[in-house]
Structure 1
Amino acid sequence: MADNQTSHRVDGEQGWSLAAAMLPFPAELRPGVPVQDAPAQVWRDILAEVAAEGFTEVDLTDSWVRAGDLSPARLTELGAAVRAAGLRAEAISVIRRSVIDPVAGAENLDYSHRSVDAAAALGCSVLSVGLHRPLTARQREVLWFWTVDGPRDADDPETRLLAASRLRELGRHAAEVGVALSLEMYEDTLLGTADSAVRLVEEIGHPNVGLNPDLGNLVRLHRPIEPIEVMLDKCLPLTNYWHVKNYHRFEDGTTGAVLSTPTSMELGVINYRQAVRSAVAYGFTGAFCLEQYGGDGLGVMSTNRRYLTSILPPKEAR
């Protein structure tokens, strides 16, 4: 079982770390000018916008800046920019770099190892990785990419063995440098259902590896899903980091049609008041990462931070 009592310095609300994802910020300043290569002052200005919304922690989502691909000098500049903005780097989330990708799996594993070292250098408590792959051309064409099916993992003994082996290797490396490894749930991967995700953590069998039960990735799907409460009960005992976001979900019982759209944590179909209560009862003490797609993502994340603060018990009261 994963250790969901991961020790890390916390300066957030009521003893909890509530980090802002960098998902709302594009990877390019303008066409052809990547944020990755921008002067450190540009990073600082963007991060200051996050801090101005009340955040004190940040998840350096690699869709914005790939910390694992920065030189040592540039990584130092990124850390200084985070601190200058009044933030603390809580985590790095590695997005769409599956270590079992049929084409780029070995390359993605190397990148994930570099991201572990970057997370340690930045003082992060956790690295979140998943098995989801790059969006297809069709997914990039539509308003909401999750309305079009993407690549699917094979669920056979050979694929599961490869995933467990590579993620165990990554978990061991992370443990050596004091960073927890969290596995993000995502549809049509080996982390795409509660049962498969729990099984994979058990197959990895390393105490430094736990789950990131990002159920928003599943409730937004335009297809039947397992009851949310059932998925939470299965996953929360193994949770060591948590991407939180929510969706409206409409199911037509006569036609079978399902529609979804992003909304705030308070208004969506995941009852986070109950989910957080259950997580705390299971012993979760890790960090949260606020995510949002569409519209003013940072503004909604700030609203969600205030809501989450209102429902979290003070850690010292537990």
Structure 2
Amino acid sequence: MSYTAQSWPIGAALLQYPNTTLDGIRVQDAPARHWAGVFREVAATGFDHVDLTDTWLRPGDLAPERLRELARTLKEADLGITAVTTARCSVIDPDPEAAADNLAYLLRTVDAAAELGVGVVCAGLHQPLTPAQREALWFWTEPGGRDPEGDERTWALAVERLRAVGERAAGLGIRISLEMYEDTYLGTPESSVRLVRDIGLPNVGINPDIGNLVRMHRPVAPWEELLTPVLPYANYWHIKSYYRDHDPATGAYFTVPAPVETGVINYRRALELALHAGFDGPICVEHYGGDGLSVAARNRDYLRQILSVKLADRS
């Protein structure tokens, strides 16, 4: 699909919103007027799309009438949906029962996305936060779960289960986008590309969210080396950035969230590389900390300004 700078779907992530109301009700069970209040805030900052992030609300676990209620509420707010994003529900979780439950949930999410008319479901292999990560100021400063390296049986299980999700999605006209994330089989460009190739479905691609990698308090490759190899497979994109510094004297690393315009990743260059590689998927802008929605709105405007020039240069 051919977009202009203004029509390119750029959605607001909802990760800054809690999954319970001020009255202690799960957002999942809250009346639609609570959802409407969040959507009004999103629309008031100039967004016309939203990423239905399941840390806030899980469309795959809504009853049919509630799913229709969600669709109506979004329509009343004049918001489209860039994607349904699932987080921390790995189909190869070390707990076999949890892994099986996660697979069933992903399949339900694909079905829910089809009911909502959403073209992308974003999934990943990252595991739930550890107690230490939950207590940290920034969760990425503490080690999390890891996929077993060199374990071909677990790799084959990931391929088998993600292929099953992709096949369900293909029958419904939906893309599956696999989110890059540290210490998983989507934690490096090489492994991410291998995984998508092994799955072998044209509707399964990569979410090149290299922000998840550059924020780590350890050595990482330059951002361009992380991004360029996966761009031919990219079909959705979570965009965020971080300030990053390293003290050679102590070996210490430092990262904190940054607006896209000022962080370590040069998104002017990144968008140029992505367009050259044929990227045409929707985008979601994210930001951790503070008023994440307002920073995301600034990120959106910055990206549209870049797109206005880069797309004109290609015409």
Superposition TM-score tier, normalisation by shorter sequence: over 0.9
Identity %: 53
Q: What amino acid maps onto 1:126 in structure 2? A: V
Q: Secondary structure at the match of 1:170?
A: helix
1:4 is aligned to: none
Q: What amino acid maps onto 1:118 in structure 2? A: A
1:162 is aligned to: 157
**1:181-230 CA distance string (max 9 Å, x none):** 00000111110111111111111111110000101101100000112111
- The residue correspondences of 1:133-148 to structure 2 (distance < 5 A) are 133-148=127-142
Structure 1 segments (4+ residues) deviating >3 Å: 313-318
Please list every run of 5 or more consecutive structure 1 residues that lacks an aligned counterpart in the other structure.
Answer: 1-6
2:85 is aligned to: 93
Q: Do the aligned residues in 1 keep the contact of 2:5 with 2:311 (CA within 8 Å)? A: no
1:130 is aligned to: 124
Q: What amino acid maps onto 2:290 in structure 1? A: G
Q: Do the aligned residues in 1 keep the contact of 2:5 with 2:305 (CA within 8 Å)? A: no
1:280 is aligned to: 275
Q: Do the aligned residues in 1 keep the contact of 2:55 with 2:87 (CA within 8 Å)? A: yes
Moved more, 105-114 or 249-258: 249-258
1:3 is aligned to: none
Query: Matched residues in 2 for 1:269 and 1:71: separation?
Result: 42
Q: What amino acid maps onto 2:25 in structure 1? A: V
2:305 is aligned to: 310
| Offset at residue 254 of structure 1 (A) | 2.6
Which of residues 108, 111, 118 in structure 2 aligns to 1:114?
A: 108
| Offset at residue 233 of structure 1 (A) | 1.2
Query: Matched residues in 1 for 2:249 and 2:231: separation?
Result: 33
Q: What amino acid maps onto 1:83 in structure 2? A: K
Which of residues 202, 206, 209 in structure 1 aligns to 2:197?
A: 202
Q: Do the aligned residues in 2 keep the contact of 1:16 with 1:315 (CA within 8 Å)? A: no
Query: Matched residues in 2 for 1:273 and 1:307: separation?
Result: 9
Q: What amino acid maps onto 2:13 in structure 1? A: A
Which of residues 159, 162, 166 in structure 2 aligns to 1:171?
A: 166
Q: 2:281 aligned with 1:289, yes or no?
A: no
Q: Secondary structure at the match of 1:28?
A: coil
**1:59-86 CA distance string (max 9 Å, x none):** 1000000000000000000111111111
1:153 is aligned to: 147
Moved more, 258-267 or 224-233: 224-233
Query: Matched residues in 2 for 1:277 and 1:179: separation?
Result: 26
Q: Do the aligned residues in 2 keep the contact of 1:97 with 1:132 (CA within 8 Å)? A: yes
Query: Matched residues in 2 for 1:216 and 1:232: separation?
Result: 10
| Offset at residue 102 of structure 1 (A) | 1.9
1:225 is aligned to: 220
| Offset at residue 42 of structure 1 (A) | 1.1
Query: Matched residues in 2 for 1:236 and 1:89: separation?
Result: 22
Q: 2:55 aligned with 1:60, yes or no?
A: no
- How many pairs are equivalent? 310
Query: Matched residues in 2 for 1:180 and 1:233: separation?
Result: 21
2:246 is aligned to: 251
Q: Relative to structure 1, is the Cα distance of residues 297 and 190 closer, same or farther in structure 2, using a 3 angstrom cutoff? A: same
| Offset at residue 94 of structure 1 (A) | 0.3
Q: 2:228 aligned with 1:238, yes or no?
A: no
Query: Matched residues in 2 for 1:218 and 1:252: separation?
Result: 18
Structure number with greater CO (CA < 8 Å, separation at least 6) is 1
TM-score with structure 2 setting the length = 0.95
| Offset at residue 315 of structure 1 (A) | 5.4
**1:235-273 CA distance string (max 9 Å, x none):** 111100000000000011232211100010010000000
Which of residues 159, 179, 189 in structure 2 aligns to 1:184?
A: 179
Q: What amino acid maps onto 2:147 in structure 1? A: D
- RMSD of the TM alignment (CA)? 1.5
| Offset at residue 89 of structure 1 (A) | 1.6
Q: What amino acid maps onto 1:251 in structure 2? A: H
Query: Matched residues in 2 for 1:213 and 1:75: separation?
Result: 29
TM-score with structure 1 setting the length = 0.94
Q: Do the aligned residues in 2 keep the contact of 1:237 with 1:283 (CA within 8 Å)? A: yes
Q: What amino acid maps onto 1:238 in structure 2? A: Y
| Offset at residue 299 of structure 1 (A) | 0.5
